[in-house]
Amino acid sequence: MGCNPELISAFLDSELDSIILTEVMDHLLRCDACGRTLDKLATVKSVVADRFFLPDPEDLTGSVMSAISNDHMESPSGGMIAFLKKIGIS
Ligand SMILES: [Zn+2]
């Protein structure tokens, strides 16, 4: 697949089915541009999440959000692999 910011956004929202998810993650691991897009979107989404709702820790979205806020606190440019490890995918 090629670069697709809409798929990256859907990935962060846990809206992808498993087949597409694998392709998007594979692309993110190899593409620096999309890694940066992911960082930007993750920052925006974590700000929105903090402002409008408390994530459920049992939910994948909650795990992603907490991983993102931890990553944001410790190191704003943690990188894709560190990000995936934090949310338990890699
Ligand atoms: Zn890309």
- Rounded CA-CA distance 71/47 in Å is 13
Domain of residue 76: give its range: 5-86
User: Which one has a higher pLDDT value, 61 or 7?
Assistant: 7
Q: In this predicted structure, what is the pLDDT of residue 70?
A: 63
Cα 78 to ligand 1 centroid, rounded to whole Å: 18
Cα 40 to ligand 1 centre (Å): 14
pLDDT for position 39: 92
Ligand 1 centroid–CA 84 distance in Å is 16
- Residue 30 pLDDT exceeds 90: yes
> Given this model, what pLDDT does residue 71 score?
57
- pLDDT value, residue 88: 81
- How far apart, in whole angstroms, are the C-alpha atoms of residue 43 and residue 37? 10
